[in-house]
Amino acid sequence: MDAGVPPRSPVLGAAGAVLTAVRAGATMLRLGTDRTAQPRTTEGSPVPDVDDPRRVGMRTRMASTSPYESHESHERHENQERHEWLRRAQDRLAGRGSVVLHGPHGIGKTYAATALADARRERGELTLWTAPARAEQPLPYCALADLLRTVDDAALAALPAPQQRALRAVLRREPLPPGGLDTLALRLAVLGALGRLAAASAVLLVIDSAQWVDRPSTEVLAFVARRLDPARVHAVVTENTEPGGAPAYAPALCTGGALEIALPPLTQPEVAALLAGRGRPELPHWLTQRVYEASGGNPMFALEIARAIDHRGGPPDRAEPLPLTRRLREAVADRLDRLDPATRWVLLLAATAAQPTLGLLRHSAAARTGRTEQGDRTDPGARTDPTPRTDPGAPTPGAPGSVRCPCLRRGTAPHPPLQCRPLLLRQNQLGLRPPNTRHQATLHI
Ligand SMILES: Nc1ncnc2c1ncn2[C@@H]1O[C@H](COP(=O)(O)OP(=O)(O)O)[C@@H](O)[C@H]1O
Ligand SMILES: [Mg+2]
């Protein structure tokens, strides 16, 4: 195997492939967990580097004021990277402006937002929270009504009558006007109401999952975010992004400049502490290590695999693949569905090839898309087999014995293990022939 490619996890199919490709530095895939990524600010002011001399001071202060206080008894040192980002987030919320927490599903955005909100609430700030879901996105003003549902009528009493009526109608405290909602009155009402609340105490708006905020709410919230005093009204906005990606929706919902934080994955000791702290019998060391590798430091993935191990009634054999829960399979499948077909094809290859070298992946991507990593067109007359010239030792995928997963080898296991099924399903969608008919039968169960 290529020295740059770490041992592949047999778990999570394409999720493992994503990690493999990323760790190998396959930037052409535009996927990955960039542990060195620095936070950006939308206002353009540079954020101090982690190696900034002030960092030592931050570390000292972190010990008593970390937003992860309740979790840090035995993992204070290991949590350093997350603490660092969250310390900066706290500083931002204590001053002017907002924080965007982004990253893949399960990386800990809600968890971090909760910790930040708890810390602000402890300091006497009013916290308003909405957590929209995909299913609610078609409901106009759903996120706005959810955010302001705890604001009582007394706080709206000073608003001019048309504004009050518009906001009370959105909150369904009175019927919608027969002529339809006055949307300008609504914007002014939300601006006025939040401004008045902020005069009494600083206000924190938490919008957990910007990508699911319905459009009418987005428009109102962006209108007020541009006008509210960022020293009095702050926002913590989360958004699902793929590793290496930037948030698309959250910055517009932020007051003042937004500190954008791509939450880094948990470290190995953090995952070990997370698993050990579940109040379940401890997993053997080798299994903890495998869960860490399979999860790639995603706490939701790690917890779900551990849950599947519990349901299984005990640790799997060392040679066995790790079990998965349905929730995890669906989460992985959902992420795969959002990738373009060429990327999915390369991930499938990375997940199933016996030797997923970087050369093999590069060459296959170029053959599949007709473009090299540099954007040049490949020679149409060039050979189309995916074995790279630079990597003569790599076997051709699809050839008997060349695939890693036993269930994908011709004429072997009748039932692919659970973790292979999302991959096999994707393989089907991508038009790659399943290796044999028995697999096809399994896919239709
Ligand atoms: N730093 C952490 N320490 C312990 N558990 C965590 C941590 N971050 C996340 N979790 C747990 O991982 C799971 C996924 O976290 P969550 O915040 O819901 O992810 P996201 O909002 O990014 O999808 C939750 O069960 C959460 O309690
Ligand atoms: Mg969440």
Domain housing 175: 40-262
Nearest-ligand number for the alpha carbon of 263: 1
For residues 13 and 20, give the distance between their C-alpha atoms in angstroms, rounded to a whole number: 11
Q: Are 404 and 8 in contact (CB under 8 A)?
A: yes
Q: Are 344 and 426 in contact (CB under 8 A)?
A: yes
367-379 confidence digits (pLDDT tens): 776 665 555 554 4
Residues 237 and 358 in one domain: no
Q: Minimal CA–CA distance to 86: which of 112, 106, 104?
A: 112
Domain boundary among 246, 262, 278: 262
Residues 136 and 214 in one domain: yes
For residues 272 and 267, give the distance between their C-alpha atoms in angstroms, rounded to a whole number: 9
pLDDT value, residue 207: 98
- Whole-number Å distance, alpha carbon 111 to ligand 1 midpoint, is 5
pLDDT value, residue 256: 95
Please give the backbone phi and psi of residue 133, each rounded to the nearest 5 degrees, phi first: -120, 165
Is 174 part of any domain?
yes
Strands (E), 26-91: 40-41
Alpha helices by DSSP H, 150-225: 153-156, 161-170, 183-200, 215-225
pLDDT value, residue 82: 78
91 pLDDT above the threshold of 60: yes
Provide the 3-class DSSP secondary structure of residue 426. Answer: helix
Confidence class of residue 184 from pLDDT cuts 50, 70 and 90?
Answer: very high
Residues 332 and 433 in one domain: yes
Q: How far is CA 152 from CA 193, 197, 210, 220, 424, in A?
A: 10, 11, 25, 19, 52
Residues 343 and 360 in one domain: yes
Domain boundary among 216, 231, 262: 262
The arithmetic mean of pLDDT across residues 134-159, rounded, is 97
Residues 55 and 28 in one domain: no
236 lines ligand 1 (CB under 6 A): no
Task: Burial-class residue 63 by CB neighbours within 10 Å (0-12, 13-18, 19+).
Answer: exposed
Is 136 part of any domain?
yes
Q: Are 68 and 300 in contact (CB under 8 A)?
A: no
The arithmetic mean of pLDDT across residues 83-102, rounded, is 94
Is 212 part of any domain?
yes
pLDDT value, residue 346: 74
Is 365 part of any domain?
yes
Higher pLDDT, 409 or 139: 139
* Beta bridge partners of residue 204, listed in sequence order: 127, 234
Provide the 3-class DSSP secondary structure of residue 237. Answer: strand
Residues 114 and 24 in one domain: no
How many other CB atoms sit within 10 Å of the CB of residue 91? 15
Q: How far is CA 329 from CA 176, 300, 419, 429, in A?
A: 42, 12, 7, 16
- Whole-number Å distance, alpha carbon 38 to ligand 1 midpoint, is 21
132 lines ligand 1 (CB under 6 A): no
Residues 150 and 108 in one domain: yes
pLDDT value, residue 330: 85
Amino acid identity for residue 148 in this structure: L
Which range among 216-220, 376-380, 429-433 shows the weakest confidence by mean pLDDT? 429-433
277-318 confidence digits (pLDDT tens): 988 888 999 999 999 998 999 999 999 999 999 998 888 888
Higher pLDDT, 201 or 74: 201
Domain boundary among 220, 241, 262: 262
Neighbours of ion ligand 2 (CB under 5 A): 109-110
Is 391 part of any domain?
yes
Overall residue count recorded for the chain in this entry = 445
Residues 121 and 26 in one domain: no
Q: Are 242 and 18 in contact (CB under 8 A)?
A: no
Which range among 109-123, 127-141, 383-397 shows the weakest confidence by mean pLDDT? 383-397
Which range among 158-167, 215-224, 377-386, 423-432 shows the weakest confidence by mean pLDDT? 377-386
Is 318 part of any domain?
no
**Position of tokens 């519990």?**
310
pLDDT value, residue 79: 60
Residues 337 and 401 in one domain: yes
For residues 252 and 224, give the distance between their C-alpha atoms in angstroms, rounded to a whole number: 10
Confidence class of residue 354 from pLDDT cuts 50, 70 and 90?
Answer: low
The arithmetic mean of pLDDT across residues 319-336, rounded, is 84
386 lines ligand 1 (CB under 6 A): no
32-60 confidence digits (pLDDT tens): 233 333 344 444 333 333 233 222 222 22
Higher pLDDT, 266 or 357: 266
What is the count of structural domains for the chain?
2
Helix/strand/coil percentages in the chain, nearest 5: 45, 10, 45
Q: Are 418 and 329 in contact (CB under 8 A)?
A: yes
Residues 124 and 143 in one domain: yes
Mean residue pLDDT across the chain: 73
Residues 334 and 420 in one domain: yes
Q: What does the DSSP 8-state code read for residue 263?
A: P
- Whole-number Å distance, alpha carbon 104 to ligand 2 midpoint, is 9
pLDDT value, residue 108: 95
Is 289 part of any domain?
no
274 lines ligand 1 (CB under 6 A): yes
**What's the sign of the alpha-carbon dihedral 220, 225, 228, 231?**
positive
Strands (E), 86-197: 98-103, 126-130
110 lines ligand 1 (CB under 6 A): yes
Is 296 part of any domain?
no
Query: Which range in 228-237, 338-347, 390-399, 409-418 is most confidently predicted, on average pLDDT?
Result: 228-237
For residues 156 and 159, give the distance between their C-alpha atoms in angstroms, rounded to a whole number: 6
For residues 11 and 125, give the distance between their C-alpha atoms in angstroms, rounded to a whole number: 44
Residues 72 and 201 in one domain: yes
Provide the 3-class DSSP secondary structure of residue 7. Answer: coil
CATH of the domain at 180: 3.40.50.300
